[in-house]
Amino acid sequence: MTPEQAIQYHKKQINIHREAIYALRKLGCNTELTPIEKKELSRVCKKYDVSVEDIVSVKRQKFIMKARKEYVVLMIDKYHKTYNRVGEILGFRDHSSILYLYKTGKNAT
């Protein structure tokens, strides 16, 4: 396999993965939240005046991103959740997306 073929193969695999995640989101598939996860999610939503649907959506408005970042930092620092777990809570986001939110959220505080 040439390097170009390998790149094309991996791009195709990434797109398949991305499409599967979007399909799961559309179907409303979500993981069951623990009471602490629900409580903290409600608290952050109330603080920033956003809905849970906004936080788990793909919307990128500044006020939604601030709420999402605060939730990520809180769940990782205070409750020691994994990046993957926080990604599941926030609408099947990849761990690398959560890591980015965590780093930018920590720098903002």
pLDDT for residue 2 is more than 90: no
pLDDT at 18: 61
pTM: 0.72
Q: Are residues 25 and 35 in the same domain?
A: no
Tokens representing 62 are 């500044």
Tally the domains of the chain.
2
Q: Are residues 57 and 96 in the same domain?
A: yes
pLDDT for residue 21 is more than 60: no
Tell which phi-psi region holds residue 47, choosing left (phi > 0), alpha (psi between -120 and 50) or beta.
Answer: alpha
Rounded to 10°, the helix 35-48/62-77 angle is 150
Q: Residue 48: give its domain's CATH number.
A: 1.10.1750.10
Mean pLDDT, rounded, of the chain: 84
pLDDT at 4: 87
pLDDT per residue as tens digits for the range 100-109: 999 999 987 6
Q: Are residues 49 and 79 in the same domain?
A: yes
3-state helix, strand, coil in the chain (%, to 5): 75, 0, 25
Alpha carbon distance 75, 77 (integer Å): 6
Domain boundaries, position 56? 31-108
pLDDT for residue 27 is more than 80: no
pLDDT per residue as tens digits for the range 67-93: 999 999 999 999 999 999 999 888 778
